[in-house]
Structure 1
Amino acid sequence: MNESITKPFTKAEIEAMRLASRDEDGVKRRFWKKLRQVGLRIPFAEDLLAAYFCAVDPATPRRVKFILLGAIAYFIFPTDAIADFLPIIGFADDAAVLATAITQVAGSIKDTHRKLAREALGAQS
């Protein structure tokens, strides 16, 4: 089994999971709203969408869902380390959080999730 799936949660992961799990449907709604707002301006849009599709996939392990929902929650909530309205650097912290989450669960993000991400981006352009 993948070590990143079986190791204990960090305090930061637990807090992000608590935040996202309190209102998973709200996280999903706000995700799409924020993605429409920033659209293709963010260079990590495909990874973000693949993470989203993995997180909402019923076959995804619960720990993976929590980690990805935590990263997605960080992306959508307005209070984060660097204000998202700042050009270029505004999403640097969001990208770093997402990259860290994806690194932890990379084996769980399947080709089908990436395909759905590309399709969603194609529909947006």
Structure 2
Amino acid sequence: MDDVKIGEILEPGSEEKQRSREERVRAQFWKTVRKAAKAVPFLDEVIAAYYAALDPATPTRVRGILLASLAYFVLPLDFIPDFIFGLGFTDDAAVLMAALTAIRTHITPAHRAAAKKALDDLDRDPAKR
């Protein structure tokens, strides 16, 4: 994926587009996390980004960037479909890493603590994997 494509994906978009993305992310995020657990090495940061995206205290533009990247992450059919073994989450990881690099300072210790707890809960409960 080139920088132009990633830049297009990460556009925050209108309020309506952000609402739509937030609904999609809320509905599909944890299912996708369970599928991507072994494929995305920085999953703790992705989960922290999820909490930051849903936090009303996070600046609107930052929330928009995060929701755009997380919406791309939860789409099963994107640039490289997620079901392709070994490659499926590589494009998602590139988009997520670009978003995280751009907004890293807006992910708070509280977001990271919530992510750690969520990961611990997933690790303890095999039914949630």
Query: What percentage of aligned pairs have identical amino acids?
Result: 40
Checking the alignment, whether the CA contact within 8 Å between 2:28 and 2:74 is kept in structure 1 is yes
Structure 2 counterpart of 1:13: 10
Checking the alignment, whether the CA contact within 8 Å between 1:17 and 1:69 is kept in structure 2 is no
Answering whether residue 90 of structure 2 is matched by residue 92 of structure 1, we say yes
- Name the aligned partner's letter for residue 120 of structure 2: G
Change (3 A) 1:26 1:12: closer
Checking the alignment, whether the CA contact within 8 Å between 2:48 and 2:111 is kept in structure 1 is yes
Moved more, 97-106 or 38-47: 38-47
In 1, Cα distance between the equivalents of 2:8 and 2:86?
A: 29
Structure 1 stretches of 4+ with a deviation exceeding 6 A read none
Moved more, 97-106 or 18-27: 18-27
Q: TM-score, normalised by structure 2?
A: 0.78
Checking the alignment, whether the CA contact within 8 Å between 2:10 and 2:69 is kept in structure 1 is no
Checking the alignment, whether the CA contact within 8 Å between 1:20 and 1:73 is kept in structure 2 is no
- Post-superposition Cα deviations, 1:89-109, rounded to whole Å, max 9, x if no partner, equal 211110100000011111101
RMSD, matched Cα: 1.9
Pick from 30, 40, 44: which aligns with 1:32? 30
Moved more, 49-58 or 85-94: 85-94
Change (3 A) 1:123 1:71: same
Gaps of 5+ in 1: 1-9
